Amino acid sequence: MTSPVKKRLIKFLLSLIVLAISILIIVYNLRDNIVYFYSPSELQDLNTSDVRILRLGGLVSNGSIQSEPNGIHRFKINDGNEEISVKFEGILPNLFAEDKGVVVEGKYIKDELFVALKVLAKHDENYMPPEVIDSLKQTGNWQGE
Amino acid sequence: MNNIISLSGNLLLIICLATSILQSLNLFTTNSYTNNNVKLFSTIQFTCIALAFLILIFLFTQSNFGFELVTFHSHSEKPFLYKISGAWGNHEGSLLLWILILTLFNFLYSLSAERDKLYKNKVTAIQSILIIGFVLFSIALSNPFALNESPQSEGLGLNPILQDPLLAIHPPILYFGYVGFSLVFSLAVAGLLTSNINNVWAETVKSWTFLAWTFLTAGIALGSYWAYYELGWGGYWFWDPVENASLMPWLAATALIHCVVVLQKKNTMQSWTVLLAIITFSLSLMGTFLVRSGVLNSVHTFASDPGRGLYILSFLFLVLITSFTIYALKSDGIDKENSYSLVSRDAGIMVNNWVLITILFIVFLGTIYPLFTDLVLNTSLTVGPSYYVMTITPVIIILLLFMIISPLVNWTAGKLSNVIVKMRYVLISSLTLVLILSLYFYLFSLTELAIIFLCIILILTSVSSGIIYSRNNIIITPSLGRTLSHSGFGLLLLAIVSNAVYSEEKIFDAKVGDTLKLSDNTFKFEKINQFEKQNYNSIQAIFYLMDNNKQVEKFSPEIRFYNDPPTITSETSIVHRLFEDIYIVMNVTQATNSISVRIHVKPFMTFLWIGVILIILGGVLSVFIKNKKINA
């Protein structure tokens, strides 16, 4: 085997190994950090032993917001069919209100309680997260255009 | 009257289109003497679009609600500055801005001295083809001069969080970067067509590349700073798809600027450099597509207005396919076979090219994967920020390592032992420094320590190679651009890591008169003010940072209630100190007698921005500094 060919072969194999390892690491990390989105109906059907972080989106149920003085808030999120109770400790966003769309991120414990670590909100009164629109459309409770 | 304005706006676009078609025909001329119209055509293109853009700004300042665009994106009570910035704060206007910069770069290039007239014809022809693509899009699918069917008396307003001086100049600067790479792209493709890729070519390309890169860096930094003080979440980078869309071309461009320098100095890496030029511009196009098509909010909004999205997507594919075909056909054999040793500066730069491309791939995957699952598998998901942090961190360590070593090695062949000898003082001093720091704070993990250690070495070696002290004279070497950018990068990363480790935040339920404590800081909630402004009402809380009963710093976070469209925003109040930022934001609550206050103590933020400014300054210098060629 001539030396330049050998050199090239070594280079090629080396880059192949590096490539394979890095892609493996990347994909593995990606799989671990994916946050799935669920509507209340979908969450009901979910295996409750799943302890991953996930997102839940829908409408804040009318009259469901209860704020305790220690900064703990309880409210319910519905999609017209199902309702999930949510507990959140922290500051609710400015545009958080009853009958408005909301997306929360956190863990679904059991007995229909969702412990939210984050409440996501956009800076527009009429904004509705697209996922929420989709799930409302699926349950036939969408009233927009 | 409005009919005439609308007509003349469209007419200007059509004249530009016609001129661009004429200029694009130069692609097929082989005779370098026939065409001296390059300058004339480019001037016409630029003048037309500049006039059209001025008309659009004029319409916004006049709040002319006869026009659809003004009605949807402005309001008569908007402050004047935001009426102007409203002109490009929307899809149609930003597209016109994009075209304006395309023609501006074509115009600037046509003025530049270029000995090879044939080559110049090809470059401007390719640039004109890009202009044609975008002007057609503007006229047919996103016309900024469309009239309302019935005149409206009032506009729908401009999103209040976009009413910010930084965000008014953020898009033009970012676009200057994005679109600057269009010229680099044209230079590369024309170079392929004329088999012209060599160190002379790199000389021309270098200034344009650094120019575009500098603007892109500044644009990203402005966006990040805006997010830091306006969004009120205490962070400056969220791995949001919109941010990733601008980071991807930046990563490719950063690899590109290094290759251009290698090409210019050593006349190697031809095909890789050209490939990077094509990739960088394609990513700029993709970034615009992602942000402007609405596909990021949801693939479903994209589907609801398929015309626009499909047009940009097809144009993107057309550009990609054509340029890669040309690349495949023409790039064979343009590489000068230059045997270089494994320990040489170009080898080091090549390794870091791979590293940058790896980071690019990581960001690309994280950004595209949710779109893919939504479209194909119909599952909604997001990729958490920890994905990026976890995958990029190990790669960053390799990047830092080679950023340190490469500049210390000779271009042709060096010895690693020489590098260690060169670095001996720096190594010893940074090792001591890191040991002291880790013992003092006893908090760092091994990864954090490694990054901090490497950052300190990077800063020290960069500074000592750029500014040499000899015989009582301070000599500034031609590599000052690199010195600034590399030490800036070290400082930036150092700040990012320490900030991530030491940031503190706490939420308070506060009443007037309360004293709030966060680590060593004591805050006093003094009072609440209420006032009315031109287009919003405001509640303002006054806090003082106390030091032994003395008021040291004043904070005045606000909640604003905008009228049109009805929106509530929180305005942060930030005090920048040398070693930490103190950041206060408040929110409305259900409770009537107290407010929710979030206080962040964010260390090293000032250094983070200084690092960014150094990187940008280095870029500015590199636009102007001429490098000497090194004979291999």
B312-363 per-position pLDDT tens digit: 888 999 999 999 999 999 887 777 666 566 778 888 898 899 999 999 999 9
Cα separation, B128 vs B20, in Å, equals 5
| Of B44, B43, B85, B42, residue with least CA distance to B61 | B85
Provide the token pair at B371. 């779109």
Amino acid at A48: T
Average of per-residue pLDDT across B530-550: 88
Q: What is the pLDDT of residue B172?
A: 93
- Is the confidence at residue B4, as pLDDT, over 80? yes
Taking CA–CA distances from B594, the nearest residue in chain A reads A69
Alpha-carbon span B163 to B241, nearest angstrom: 22
Residue B450 has pLDDT above 50, yes or no: yes
- ipTM of predicted assembly, 2 dp: 0.80
Phi, psi dihedral angles at B63 (to 5 degrees): 45, 55
Burial class of B463 by CB neighbour count within 10 A (0 to 12, 13 to 18, 19+): middle
Name the residue ranges covered by the structural domains of chain B.
1-158, 171-334, 504-605
Selection from B350, B113, B384, B114 nearest residue B255 by Cα: B350
Contacts of B564 (CB under 8 A, 6+ apart): B75, B77, B154, B155, B156, B157, B535
All residues of chain A having their beta carbon less than 8 Å from the beta carbon of residue B380 are: 36-37, 55, 131, 134
The Cα–Cα gap between B565 and B157 comes to: 6
A94 part of contact set with chain B, CB < 8 Å = yes
Minimum mean pLDDT range among A17-21, B206-210, B254-258? A17-21
B559 to chain A: nearest residue by CA?
A94
Name which of A21-30, A89-98, B446-455, B509-518 the model is least confident about.
Answer: A89-98
End-to-end CA distance of chain B: 67
Lowest mean pLDDT among A93-102, B76-85, B334-343, B544-553: B334-343
CB atoms within 10 A of CB B75: 21
Strands A34-38 and A54-60: parallel
Interface check B433 vs A, CB under 8 A: no
Q: CB distance from A123 to chain B under 8 Å?
A: yes
For residue B630, the model assigns a pLDDT of: 47
> CB of B593 within 8 A of CB of B584?
no
How large is the angle between the packed helices B306-330 and B117-141, nearest 10 degrees?
160
Mind listing the pLDDT tens digit for each residue in B562-610? 876 677 788 899 999 999 999 999 877 655 677 888 899 999 999 999 9
Checking if the pLDDT of B470 tops 80, the result is no
Q: Is A68 on the interface with B (CB under 8 A)?
A: no
Do residues B131 and B186 lie in contact, with contact meaning Cβ atoms separated by under 8 Å? no
Question: What was the pLDDT predicted at B322?
Answer: 95
pLDDT in tens, B188-221: 999 999 888 888 899 889 999 999 999 999 999 9
Q: What pLDDT, in 10s, does the model give residues B395-432? A: 999 999 999 988 888 776 667 777 777 778 888 888 88
C-alpha distances in Å from residue B581, one per residue of B146, B228, B521: 46, 11, 12
- Note whether B590 contacts A: Cβ–Cβ < 8 A: yes
DSSP annotation of B592 reads: S
> When comparing pLDDT for B452 and A93, which is higher?
B452
Q: Which element (helix H / strand E) includes B141?
A: helix B117-141
CA distance B561 to chain A (A): 10
pLDDT of res. B156: 77
Residue B616: pLDDT above 90?
yes
The more confident residue out of B79 and B469 is B79
- Which of the pair, A105 or A70, is modelled with greater confidence? A105
**What's the CA gap between B122 and B470, in Å, rounded?**
48
Q: Residue B39 CB: number of other CB atoms within 10 A?
A: 13
B6, HSE (Cβ side, Cα atoms, 13 Å): 17
Q: How far is B632 from chain A (nearest CA, A)?
A: 20
Query: Which of chain A's residues have a Cβ under 8 Å away from the Cβ of B382?
Result: 34-35, 37, 55
What's chain B's average pLDDT? 87
Kindly tell me if the per-residue pLDDT of B627 is higher than 60.
no
Cis peptide before B160 (omega within 30 of 0): no
Q: Is the pLDDT of residue B89 over 50?
A: yes
Task: Tell how strand A54-60 and strand A72-78 pair up.
Answer: antiparallel
Chain A: residue whose CA lies nearest to B596: A91
Query: Which of A130-144, B69-83, B92-106 is predicted most confidently?
Result: B92-106
> In angstroms, rounded to a whole number, what is the distance separating the alpha carbons of residues B539 and B561?
9
- Contact (CB<8Å) B159/A123: yes
**pLDDT score for A89:** 85
What is residue B54's predicted lDDT score, i.e. its pLDDT?
97
Q: For testing the chain A interface, which of B302, B352, B372, B381 should be mutated: the one with the most A CBs within 10 Å?
A: B381
Q: What is the DSSP string of B453-520?
A: HHHHHHHHHHHHHHEEEETTEEEE-TTHHHHHHHHHHHHHHHHHHHHHHH-EEEEEEE-TT-EEEETT
* DSSP codes of every residue in B191-204: HHHTT--SHHHHHH
Q: Are A130 and B369 a contacting pair at CB < 8 A?
A: no
- Interface membership of A32 toward B (CB under 8 Å): yes
Whole-number Cα distances in Å, B475 to B115, B466, B478: 35, 8, 10
pLDDT at B626 exceeding the cut of 50: yes
- From B111-120, B252-261, B346-355, B435-444, the region with the lowest mean pLDDT: B435-444
| Partner-chain contact B596 A22, CB within 8 Å | no
Q: What's the half-sphere exposure (Cβ side, CA atoms, 13 Å) at B55?
A: 24
Q: A91 at the B interface (CB within 8 A)? A: yes
As a whole number, the mean pLDDT across chain A is 79
Q: What confidence tier does B60 reach under pLDDT thresholds 50, 70, 90?
A: very high
Beta strands B595-603 and B573-576 are: unpaired
CA end-to-end distance (rounded Å), chain A:
71
Q: Centre a 10 Å sphere on the Cβ of residue B356 and count the other Cβ atoms it contains.
A: 21
Interchain contact, A94 vs B566, CB within 8 Å: no
